Amino acid sequence: MPDWSPSDYLRFTDERSRPFAELLARVPGTPRSVLDLGCGPGHLAAMLRRRWPGADVVGLDASPAMIDAARTADPDGRYVLGDLRDLAAGRPPTGVPSRPDLVISNATLQWVPDHRDLLPALAGLARETFAFSVPGNQDAPSHRLLREVAARGSYADAVGPVPRRAVGDPADYLEILAGPGRAVDAWETTYTHVLPGEDPVLRWISATGAQPVLQALEAHDADHGTTLREQFDAEYGAALRRAYPRQPYGTPLAFRRVFVVVTTG
C-alpha cells in the first residue's frame, strides 16, 4: 500500500475510538510508560493521557502520513515512524522505549502478516501489560463482498487475490499467550454502529479494509487511463446497499471486535 489517508480514517472517529476506550477500561494498574502500536493520526493519545496523566506515551506507526498527521495535531506528543515487526524482532526504532509498562494496540495487528507469530515477542516487551484489539469481521458481508467484487473481470487483473485476513478468536489468542506468570483476559464484542448519510458502509470500509483494493485500482487507472476505481465504487457500493439497507434512523453496521489483555507478575 502507498499510504493511508488520515482524514478518511477520522470520518467515523467516535465509532472507531469506542473499542479503544473499552480496551483501556480493562487495563489494570498505573503504567508510567505506554507504547501505542499503530497509533494512526494520534487521535487516541489523549485518551491514554486522560487515563494515566503522568505516563510517558509514545506512538509508533509504519505510515508516514499517519505520523505526520499525529505530529501536526498533537505537537507535544511523541510519535515514531517504524514497523512493529522490527520491534518484535528486537530492533526497536529510535525513540521507542525498550521496556514500557504497557504495550497497547488498536485495530493494527490484523494488517501484519502472520501477526499471531509475533504476539509472544510483543507481549514480552511489556513490563506489566500487553493489550490489543482487532476487528473480527473478516466474514461479514462488507468483507465477503469486497473479495467477491474485486475478483471480477478487470478488477481482478488490477488487484490480484484479496486475502481473507486471519484474525483469531478469543480462544486462539488465549492459547498463544497463556503461560506461567501470565493472566489472559480475552473476549469479543459485536457493536451495532448506526452510520449516517449516503453509502456510509462504503465510506467506512473505503478508509480501512478496502484500502489495498482501492489503491491498486487507482494505480491501474493512473497507468492505463482507465476508470476502474469509479466503476468499482459503483458496483461495490450497490452490493453494500443491498447487504446493509438504510433505515429511517441510519444504516446499521454490525462490527465484531476481539480484545485481549495480558498481565504479568
- 76: exposed, middle or buried (Cβ count in 10 Å: 0-12, 13-18, 19+): exposed
Q: Report percent pLDDT > 90 for the chain.
A: 77
Q: What is the pLDDT of residues 182-235, one digit of tens each?
A: 999 999 999 999 999 999 999 999 888 888 899 899 999 999 999 999 999 999
Residue 1: which pLDDT band, with cuts at 50, 70 and 90?
Answer: very low
pLDDT at 8 over 60: no
The cell for 261 is 489483555
Terminal Cα-to-Cα distance of the chain (whole angstroms): 39
Q: Residue 162: pLDDT band by 50, 70, 90 thresholds?
A: confident
CB atoms within 10 A of CB 134: 25
The per-residue pLDDT for 6 is 53
Mean pLDDT in residue range 26-40: 95
The domain over range 6-264 is classified in CATH as 3.90.79.10 = no
